[in-house]
Structure 1
Amino acid sequence: MLRENWTRNIEELVDKISRVFEIEGVIVFGSWSRRGGGEWSDLDLLIVSDQVKNINIFDRFKITFELRIPRTDVFIYTYEEIESMLNRMNPLILSALTEGIIIRSSERIRGLIEYARKRFTRRKRLWIMKD
């Protein structure tokens, strides 16, 4: 994926998903947020929507897979799920919240991001709590 296309791809994908779910937060994470991606990098997106609360994780992946654009991986969770994964130091959530590029966020999502950035840091491949 070329660098100049990624913002257009995000807008297109968020538009598709927002037709199905109300979106509270969108964060780009992974190689695109750390190094700017590259021609062969996929785009990792964390989407926050409480409307997926009663949809099991496999059905969520099926829905986002059908809506996704090529070379884009979409992870959609509720606020409570993200909060719980943060408290369990889930690497995917830590990467998204501490290193991610915020595209859209509510006040409570910004609060989680601020908390994660104050409390956690990456040391090579390991996440640790700051002193």
Structure 2
Amino acid sequence: MKIEYLDREAVLEALALFTAELAEMHPEIQRILLFGSYERGIPLPSSDIDLFIVLSESDRRFLDRTAFYAPDRFPVGVDIFPYTEDELETMLNEGNQFVRRALETGRLLFSRDPAP
């Protein structure tokens, strides 16, 4: 079995830079949350970054948004989940547990709203 070294701090630094650049380039982004193993602080060498992006609106289809907001280069894989506020409201009202869990447990990396 081969275990590769994972530089968690380098990945988190790259994530902070990517998040800041993404939010600056796209005013429709309202919030970015980190969830999954990196959020829990237990990534493995094979772990990817899971980002939940809340958009004010979008004319793109969901699958097109995923590619649109994904980084060109990143030290590990990145899974992007970009939903509009209206889509989130609908999914929450329908009882979507994936969305509920991501919103409840995700670590806020960026928000356009001032902190309370």
Per the TM superposition, whether the score is higher than 0.5 is: yes
CA RMSD, Structure 1 to Structure 2 (Å): 2.5
The alpha carbon displacement at 1:73 in A equals 0.9
Unaligned runs of 5+ in 2: 1-5
Q: Which structure 1 residue ranges, 4+ long, deviate > 6 Å from structure 2?
A: none
Q: Which has the higher contact order (CA 8 A, sep 6+)?
A: 2
In 1, the alpha carbon distance for the partners of 2:20 and 2:73 equals 11
Determine if the alignment matches structure 1 residue 84 to structure 2 residue 90.
yes
Aligned to 1:17: 22
In 1, the alpha carbon distance for the partners of 2:53 and 2:73 equals 12
Kindly indicate whether the alpha-carbon contact (under 8 Å) linking 1:27 and 1:100 is maintained by their aligned counterparts in 2: yes
Structure (1/2) with the larger helix percentage:
1
In 2, the alpha carbon distance for the partners of 1:27 and 1:93 equals 11
| Paired residues, number | 108
Unaligned runs of 5+ in 1: 111-131
Kindly indicate whether the alpha-carbon contact (under 8 Å) linking 2:53 and 2:82 is maintained by their aligned counterparts in 1: yes
Q: Percent identity?
A: 28
Kindly indicate whether the alpha-carbon contact (under 8 Å) linking 1:45 and 1:73 is maintained by their aligned counterparts in 2: yes
- Compute the TM-score of the two structures, normalised by the length of structure 1: 0.66
The alpha carbon displacement at 1:68 in A equals 5.8
